[in-house]
Amino acid sequence: MAPTLIATGLRVMRSIATHGLGITRAVFTQGHSPYAFMPAFTMSLFLSHDEDDVRRAVQMGLPAGHVLSSAPIDDADDGALRIAFDFDGVLADDSSERISQAEGLAAFHRHEFANRVSPQDPGPLRDLLVNIDKIQRLEAARTLADATYRTRVRVSIVTARNAPSHERAVTTLKNWGVMVNDAFFLGGIDKGPVIEVLRPHIFFDDQSPQLRSASRHAASVHVPYGIVNEPPPPPVVVD
């Protein structure tokens, strides 16, 4: 390692110890993105402000998000960590979104209602949600044992789905065995005002237009996964 990397790594680890964080493992690479090492460390999330790195990670099938420039959060309240997720293309795969894009909203609702008892396949951040759920279940057990304990993690789903397509999302979450504290089925309305009230510390969505509004109120992360993030097909040239 170069001396600058050694000095930087040592400073990071000393800061971790100073703040009493239970972190013992670390990876420092000189100018190289660490996302390729995610499987080796069984990591469930890679965050970066480098959009190219994030897109390459997603193309490799890794859970990753592009951190956008966002407004700071006023955190002078209950001290809980608030995490918000979009559903399709973030927690679940984009198979349903592909129907919406190809055939329209009415076809999407028909398909989702017909498959309301069939869970969707996992999307890029499903495993992250599963790991967060483990923490929430430990907190739930702690609350039963100690009535004075205040839970510190709150999870919300903020999705453009609405009735009748909401039921399949619920079926999917139940099939995964996870619980959430809030679910907002918004029917395509702007998510920004909801995020403003909800005030999550971080919000994940696969659609940039929704994040432009949300990022004014919360730290926002773009997950460049699925059909809405694929480049448009080249134009057909007719001689």
Model pLDDT, residue 77: 67
Model pLDDT, residue 97: 96
Mean pLDDT value across residues 107-131: 97
Q: What are the pLDDT digits (tens) for 201-213? A: 999 999 999 999 9
Q: What distance, in Å, lies between the first and last C-alpha atoms of the chain?
A: 57
Can you give the length of the chain in residues? 239
Higher-pLDDT residue of 55, 236? 55
Q: What are phi and psi of 154, to 5 degrees?
A: -130, 130
pLDDT band at 239 (very low <50, low <70, confident <90, very high): low
Mean pLDDT value across residues 113-136: 97
The CA distance from 218 to 69, in Å, is 10
Q: Give the mean pLDDT of the chain.
A: 92
Task: From the candidates 52, 77, 78, 86, give the one annotated as an active-site residue.
Answer: 86
pLDDT band at 34 (very low <50, low <70, confident <90, very high): confident
Model pLDDT, residue 1: 46
CA atoms within 13 A on the CB side of 158: 29
Percent of the chain scoring above 90 in pLDDT = 78
Mean pLDDT value across residues 4-33: 86
Model pLDDT, residue 30: 78
Mean pLDDT value across residues 105-133: 97
| Edge-first strand listing for the sheet containing 46-48 | 46-48, 64-67, 220-222, 202-205, 81-85, 153-159, 182-185
The CA distance from 62 to 45, in Å, is 8
pLDDT band at 161 (very low <50, low <70, confident <90, very high): very high
- Which DSSP letter does residue 39 get? G
Mean pLDDT value across residues 2-21: 84
Range in 23-27, 157-161, 169-173, 214-218 with the lowest mean pLDDT: 23-27
- Domains of the chain (ranges, CATH numbers): 3-67 (no CATH), 81-229 (3.40.50.1000)
Q: Is the pLDDT reported for residue 184 higher than 90?
A: yes
Q: Is 93 a catalytic residue?
A: no
pLDDT band at 3 (very low <50, low <70, confident <90, very high): low
What's the Cα-to-Cα distance from 228 to each of 163, 205, 219, rounded to whole Å?
22, 11, 21
Residue type, 80: A
